[in-house]
Structure 1
């Protein structure tokens, strides 16, 4: 039998690392990307190697024009690509829109929205050309910020994630006839290092305390929702943005 393969962007830490682990435990071979975190990438691959499936890390900048082709090529060596999770994302420093630089805006939009759109395009091209049978699933990781707008923190990040949600809904309708499902998971505040990289290491605890559940999410709680959307249990779910936000609306 041909082994099923999952592709995950941004799999060296946080939510992405938890997604890699869950998909590997489900028996999929996994290719994941990372930008610079060699240590985290090695740890992520090592954690899942004991499960008896092959997990490979591919270092690439998602803004590179050949990034989607390189990622997809890496999956071909392992088996049949059936799952794509667009998880990688950046915020830039926390602050008001008036203080953000053009460089930060360009990086955030390019990584969060443009790269996700390009990965989706290349994967859909290949799946449609193969006239593939069986369930094929794309899951995009967005953010509750797409709805709240993240005022005073990173409205440019919120805007990029809102774009990903629009992409998810539109593409799902476009490719449903080809047997391709496209969904998104919208996390609330999650306890990862993204907050420290944005300049607020205590943000997850502070914001999480104000949610109805009174705490931030764990990466694995977000990964569980992503995993479910890739399974046949969610076979009639497409074009859906699934909130995992502790009750925040």
Structure 2
């Protein structure tokens, strides 16, 4: 399988790329700025047993997204799976204190970028025959967040709102693409051990909130990757339009 993952140079995207490599899949490792981290992910995918290339693109820019898909197809051929993972957050604060520049940047990447990537996948996935639809071999996995249903008050209601849009996209796009044999699902991580907690200015948030979950700990990027790769795989051939919580019960 040929799998394109946006924001794959670190965190959940990186863990997903490595797990896909362990399946023997070919992986497009998209990154925005950190070429060194992206190349490290490529090496890790290859060590796991797959093939990979790093492709730079800002997902909020349509031209970049078109070039991203072109580069993936040129190198590996037709794409069977797309993981729409790239996203950003910003310093924790109430909505009343957020500047419009911050809001625009967060929404441009997390909502507009996700929709452009999902749209491009929808355009490029070929329509399946009736027999091929039984296996539903093409798949889009969107990265949502538990913030979509918790709201993230006084921290990042802008980010939470973006992920609410992703939840809706998963439902609507699954209905649009199901007749073509394309599955669309989302994964909703909770408190996961990635760099995003430091990016909001609260590095202690991981343990503080993670320890309050029913399972009593934060999750790992690898645990989220397991859900994503399952949704990409033939084992999830009858699963579409759903959202899997990986939240430790939170």
TM-score by length of 2: 0.94
- Specify every segment of 5 or more residues in structure 2 that has no aligned partner in the other structure, as ranges: none
- CA deviation profile, 1:53-105 (whole Å, cap 9, x unmatched): 32111112111221221111111121220000001111111111111111111
- Give the structure 2 partner of residue 211 of structure 1: 213
- Give the structure 2 partner of residue 75 of structure 1: 72
- Give the structure 2 partner of residue 244 of structure 1: 246
Change (3 A) 1:51 1:215: closer
SS at match of 2:106: helix
- Specify every segment of 5 or more residues in structure 1 that has no aligned partner in the other structure, as ranges: none
Instruction: Map 1:9-24 onto structure 2 (within 5 A).
Output: 9-24=6-21
* Distance in 2 of aligned mates of 1:164 and 1:226: 15
Contact 2:62 2:116 survives alignment (8 Å) = no
* Distance in 2 of aligned mates of 1:22 and 1:242: 18
Instruction: Map 1:54-93 onto structure 2 (within 5 A).
Output: 54-76=51-73, 77-93=75-91
* Distance in 1 of aligned mates of 2:52 and 2:202: 32
* Distance in 1 of aligned mates of 2:138 and 2:229: 13
Contact 2:146 2:245 survives alignment (8 Å) = yes
Per-residue deviation, 1:125:
1.2
Q: Aligned residue pairs: how many?
A: 244
Structure 1 stretch displaced more, 45-54 or 216-225: 45-54
SS at match of 1:66: helix
Instruction: Map 1:100-119 onto structure 2 (within 5 A).
Output: 100-119=98-117
Structure 1 stretch displaced more, 137-146 or 72-81: 72-81
Change (3 A) 1:146 1:16: same
* Distance in 2 of aligned mates of 1:93 and 1:137: 33
TM-score by length of 1: 0.94
Structure 1 stretch displaced more, 12-21 or 28-37: 28-37
Contact 2:128 2:181 survives alignment (8 Å) = no
